[in-house]
Every structure is written in C-alpha cells, then in structure tokens.
C-alpha cells in the first residue's frame, strides 16, 4: 500500500519546526506502507535532502521514507505576496510529482490551504483516496487577522476549503473547533480528532527546587503577527523594575522577530531574550532548563477553538506549568487539569502571573506534575499515531 504525503513545510527532527508529519511517516512504515513525502524548502525545516537540486527538486531515502523536496523556498519572514507565490508554486510542483507515481492514498496537511489543490487532483483525476488535515482553519484565521482581505481571494479560498472537506475520504482535525467547522462545511466522511502531541521524554516531570533563586519562563515557536509577543516585552519591563529574579527566553523565528529584538534593545531590558530557532530534537533539553512555558496568541475565534500549537504539548511532556493568555479549548484544559494559569491580555497580568509563580514554588511543582499527567493521559505520541493509522485505513477501505 503506497501513501503519498503532501506537506509543504515537512521537516525531520533536525529542523526547527513541527515534526508531526515525520512521526506519521514512521508509523506508516512500521505498519507496512510504502511512503513518499512531497514537500517544499522552508528556512526552519530540515527535510534530510542534501543532494544537488536537479530539474527543480532533490530527494533522499531516510528510515524507509522517500522524501522529494521541491525547490520552492519559504520563510515566515515572507510578505503575503511572496507567501502566496510560494504556496501556489508548490501546489503545481506537487501535482507534477503526483503524476509520476501510483498511490493508494494521498494525505495532505494544511496550512497552507493550497495543498488541497494537488489533493483534489489526486482524488478526481488520479482516483486516489484523499485524507485532508487542517492544522489551522484556513482561510478563517488569516481573514480574522486582517491578512487575507481581497474579496476574490477570500471567496476562492472559502470555496476551495468547502470542496476539499466535502471531497475527502477522511478528515483530520487537530482541535474540537475544527471538528465542528468540518461538519458545518458539510463533511461527508469520517472526522478523526487527532490533536498535536509531543514525543515522550524520560523523567518528564521537572524537579523544581523550592529554594531556587530564579524563575525561568520559556516560549518556543513562531514570532509572527498572530503570536502577539509585545505584551511579554512590556511585562519584562515591569518584572525588571521589581526585585524578582525572573527571566523570559524566546526561541523561534518569524516576521516580527527583528522588531521584538529592537524593542528589547531600546528598552535596555536584560531579563528577556529573543533567540534563533532550535532544532526540534533539542527542544526538550531547552524546556527542562526552564520552569514555566508561555502560550501566547492573539485572541481570535479561529485560535480559541481550532488551534493546536506544538508548544502546548511540548510543555506538557516536559512537565512545565503553562501560562496561557487566550481563551478556548486549551485554556479549558489548563483550568480543568490544574496545570497552569489562564490570564488576560494585559502585560501587567503576565507579569503578575510570573511573579505569583516565583513566590509560590510549590504551585510550580504541582502544576508541572499535573501537566505531565495530562500528557500521559491524553496526548502521548502512541495514542495519536494509532489514531492516524486507523484514519488512513478508513480512507482507502
């Protein structure tokens, strides 16, 4: 059985972005599938392809998986016009690669939503079973953020989303809001709820020293418009004017990172740092050196109901308490499982939360234990991978 995966931002653990698809490929191989990945070339990804690019792509075999990297560069620092060009270019290239293969099922992972184009080509032209995954709600999220405003593009994107949802042989939703959204669009196939996950870490519960002299907060992820990290800089200014030894370390990349660094420089803040992305394989080591994880996002409906950020699950696996600044299903998880604090959007509220944790080391310890227990109970990698294989089987019968 041959499964073709189309994911523009695919990466192995050597990269600094999500490795969800990488783990899916490994699970497919272990279950006897032949697996081919068609991907693009992202600045924070590492596809494992190192050969010279010939006729627009290069390929590699890694742990039983054939990876075809199309020469379509992409960066989170790209403006909208350059991003759209990369999205459509990859969709065309992916169709070209599909035409060279025979496959039994095609799994496409969005965003970007344009991966639906080669998915629909596979479904209707090549008669291949289609599995569509929505990591974020496109075009809903960029519309709510004011990024996608052209009425023609908005209408076209909504139509593409509706067609691919109704055409798929199976759907994968990463959040409860995505399940509801698929149903509203008229989904006709099974909807598999498979949230993000994190690879298990030995001794995941972090040992916190009640007499520690410093509280270290960490954020690992994108530094873009949607992440709204300005409040953390203003909170750092409040903390620096207090007598509390608290640090805020940010790791990642994105269109706003240079501005954030410049803002920190102008304010001459020493307790906050914006650092480059780190390989996914190093994330847990970085997290274990910290005491609390930050989950910061713009408060829009698409994020409240349908976001499933990797960092949330990485924090759980590492046994870190979480400070979350937006409402939604993840905030509900934090509250109901007592594994962190849900706060408002003001910098003062973030500063107050960090200072409270600094003053209450026992709460840090208990929140961390509960975080790890929630990971083991609901979000372990084995549980999600089993669900993924079942979903693929449902799609091709």
Enumerate the domain spans of the chain. Answer: 2-197+380-396, 215-378
The pLDDT score that the predictor gives to residue 49 is 86
The pLDDT score that the predictor gives to residue 200 is 58
| Spatial strand order in the sheet of 340-342 | 272-275, 246-251, 215-220, 292-295, 322-324, 340-342
The pLDDT score that the predictor gives to residue 142 is 74
Homologous superfamily (CATH) of 2-197+380-396 is Glycogen Phosphorylase B; (3.40.50.2000)
Among the listed residues 333, 334, 322, 326, the one whose alpha carbon sits nearest the alpha carbon of residue 364: 322
Using alpha carbons only, what angle is made at residue 357 by residues 353 and 360, rounded to the nearest 5 degrees?
140
Contacts 24+ apart (CB under 8 A), 310-315: 310/18, 310/20, 310/196, 310/198, 310/221, 311/219, 311/220, 311/221, 312/196, 313/195, 313/196, 313/197, 313/198, 313/375, 313/379, 314/198, 314/220, 314/283, 314/284, 314/287, 315/287, 315/371
Q: With contact defined as beta carbons under 8 Å apart, do 390 and 237 qualify?
A: no
Give the whole-angstrom CA distance, residue 397 versus residue 129. 9
Which residues lie below 8 Å from residue 384, measured CB to CB, with a gap of 6+? 194, 195, 196, 197
Give the whole-angstrom CA distance, residue 16 versus residue 318. 17
Assess if CATH 3.10.20.90 describes domain 215-378: no
Low-confidence ranges of the chain (pLDDT < 50): 204, 208-211
> Sign of dihedral through CA atoms 289, 290, 295, 296?
negative
The pLDDT score that the predictor gives to residue 206 is 54
The pLDDT score that the predictor gives to residue 293 is 96
The pLDDT score that the predictor gives to residue 208 is 46
The pTM assigned to this predicted structure is 0.86
Give the whole-angstrom CA distance, residue 139 versus residue 154. 7
Identical fold, 2-197+380-396 and 215-378: yes
Query: Helices 230-240 and 347-359: crossing angle, nearest 10°?
Result: 50
Q: Express each pLDDT in 289-309 by its tens digit.
A: 999 999 998 877 767 777 888
Among the listed residues 218, 271, 282, 221, the one whose alpha carbon sits nearest the alpha carbon of residue 242: 271
Checking DSSP bridges between strand 65-74 and strand 105-110, what pairing results, if any? Answer: unpaired
Q: Express each pLDDT in 158-205 by its tens digit.
A: 999 999 999 999 999 998 889 999 999 999 889 999 998 887 555 545
């Amino acid at each position: 059985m041959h499964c073709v995966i189309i994911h523009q931002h695919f990466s192995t653990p050597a990269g600094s972005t999500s490795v969800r698809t990488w783990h899916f490929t490994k699970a497919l191989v272990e279950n006897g599938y032949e697996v081919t990945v068609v991907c693009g070339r992202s600045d924070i990804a590492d596809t494992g392809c190192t050969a010279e690019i010939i006729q627009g792509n290069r390929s590699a075999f890694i742990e039983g998986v054939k990876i075809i990297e199309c020469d379509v560069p992409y960066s989170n620092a790209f403006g909208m016009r350059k991003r759209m060009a990369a999205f459509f270019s990859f969709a065309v290239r992916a169709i070209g690669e599909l035409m060279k293969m025979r496959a039994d099922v095609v799994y496409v992972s969005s965003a970007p939503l344009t991966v639906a184009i080669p998915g629909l080509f596979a479904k209707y032209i090549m008669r291949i079973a289609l599995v569509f995954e929505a990591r974020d709600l496109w075009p809903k999220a960029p519309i709510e953020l004011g990024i996608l405003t052209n009425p023609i593009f908005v209408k076209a994107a909504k139509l593409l989303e509706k067609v691919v949802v109704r055409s798929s042989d199976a759907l994968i939703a990463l959040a409860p809001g995505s399940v509801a959204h698929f149903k509203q669009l008229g989904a006709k196939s099974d909807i598999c709820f498979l949230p993000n996950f994190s690879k298990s870490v030995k001794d995941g519960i972090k040992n916190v020293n009640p007499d520690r002299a410093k509280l270290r907060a960490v954020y690992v992820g994108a530094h873009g418009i949607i992440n709204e990290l300005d409040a953390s800089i203003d909170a750092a200014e409040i903390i620096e004017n207090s007598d509390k030894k608290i640090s805020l370390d940010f790791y990642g990349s994105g269109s706003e990172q240079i501005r954030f660094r410049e803002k920190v420089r102008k304010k001459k803040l020493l307790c906050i740092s914006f650092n480059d992305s780190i390989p996914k394989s190093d994330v847990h080591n970085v997290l274990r050196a910290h005491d609390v994880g930050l989950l910061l996002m713009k408060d829009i409906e698409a994020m409240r109901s349908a976001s499933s950020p990797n960092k949330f699950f990485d924090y759980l696996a590492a046994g870190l308490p979480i400070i979350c600044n937006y409402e939604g299903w993840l905030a509900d998880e934090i509250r109901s499982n007592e594994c962190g604090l849900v706060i408002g959007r003001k910098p003062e509220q973030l500063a107050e939360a960090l200072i409270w944790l600094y003053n209450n080391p026992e709460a840090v310890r208990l929140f961390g234990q509960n975080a790890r227990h929630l990971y083991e109970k609901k979000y372990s990698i084995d549980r999600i991978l089993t669900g993924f294989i079942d979903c693929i089987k449902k799609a091709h019968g």
